[in-house]
Amino acid sequence: MEIIEGKVQLGTKSCHCVNHPAGPGKTYHTVYCENYTKTQGRHTCTKKTCPNNPSKTYGWHALSQTIEVCGSCKGTLTLAENYCDDITLPAEMPFRVIRENRNNTFNENYFGMGSLWSSTDYGDAAKMTDEALIAQVRAKATKAQAVNIVRSKDDLTLCDYIAIVVTRDGYSVKAGWNN
């Protein structure tokens, strides 16, 4: 992923199967007993004892594992990048401090949605100068998920600046737009 003329250009990335124990481009496929169903993310038995493995009751039963071609990359070892992947922020990206006389919102405290990150520092950032806060955040903000710094998934225009929104409780680092 790279930035060309203010737009994020998606490319390719390595698949997670590159270093798989089964070999590059391979993955394990588990074959389960026919008496098992997948519920709540686990394979559970539909019988009190499994005819294929009588010593186990209501447990995780796998008959075998086979090695198959990776279902994500189909053995090519590369995947298409998407706007949820990390991108390195340009060194020339401007930062601005926006001070607001309010407490953090629930979203800022617990989720950080729409932010690169948020921090509850109990007023430490509010006491710092703009220059010191920008230096602190710039040192940490080297990468970000592209989704947090582009206009939309259809318009991958990079934000104009990184906004550091300071409140009485902490701060949030977000994409900033001039218009």
The 10s digit of each residue's pLDDT in 51-105 is 555 555 445 556 667 899 999 999 999 999 998 999 999 999 999 999 999 998 8
Rounded to an integer, what distance in angstroms lies between the CA atom of residue 72 and that of residue 16?
A: 9
pLDDT at residue 136 tops 90? yes
Where would I find the beta strands (DSSP E) of the chain?
A: 2-4, 7-9, 12-14, 26-32, 36-39, 42-45, 62-69, 78-80, 86-88, 95-99, 117-120, 143-145, 161-166, 170-176
Same domain (yes/no): 67, 94: no
- Are residues 89 and 156 located together in one domain of the fold? yes
Provide the pLDDT for residue 111. 85
Claim to verify: residue 125 and residue 70 sit in the same structural domain: no
Q: Which of 33, 62, 80 is the last residue of a domain?
A: 80
Does residue 76 share a domain with residue 39? yes
pLDDT given at position 47: 55
47 shares its domain with 107: no
What is the structure's pLDDT at 25?
Answer: 93
My answer on whether 90 and 67 are in the same domain is no
| pTM exceeding the 0.75 threshold for the entire prediction | no
For the chain, the first-to-last Cα distance in angstroms comes to 25
Domain-embedded: residue 148:
yes
3-class DSSP assignment, residue 106: helix
| 111-126 per-position pLDDT tens digit | 887 899 999 899 999 9
Lowest-confidence segment of 40-44, 108-112, 141-145, 171-175 by average pLDDT: 40-44
Report pLDDT for 108: 85
Q: Is the pLDDT of residue 31 over 80?
A: no
Q: Are residues 74 and 126 in the same domain?
A: no
Q: Report the alpha-carbon distance of residue 78 to residue 8 in Å, rounded.
A: 19
Provide the pLDDT for residue 161: 96
Asked if residue 150 belongs to a domain, the reply is yes
Tell me the C-alpha distance between 89 and 161, whole Å.
11
Residue ranges making up the domain that contains 150: 85-176
Is there a single domain that holds both residue 105 and residue 152?
yes
In total, how many domains does the chain have?
2
Work out the angle at residue 161's Cα, subtended by the Cα atoms of residues 139 and 142, and round it to the nearest 5 degrees.
25
Q: Among residues 81, 71, 100, 79, which one has the least CA distance to residue 174?
A: 100
Q: Find out whether 115 and 172 touch, Cβ atoms under 8 Å.
A: yes
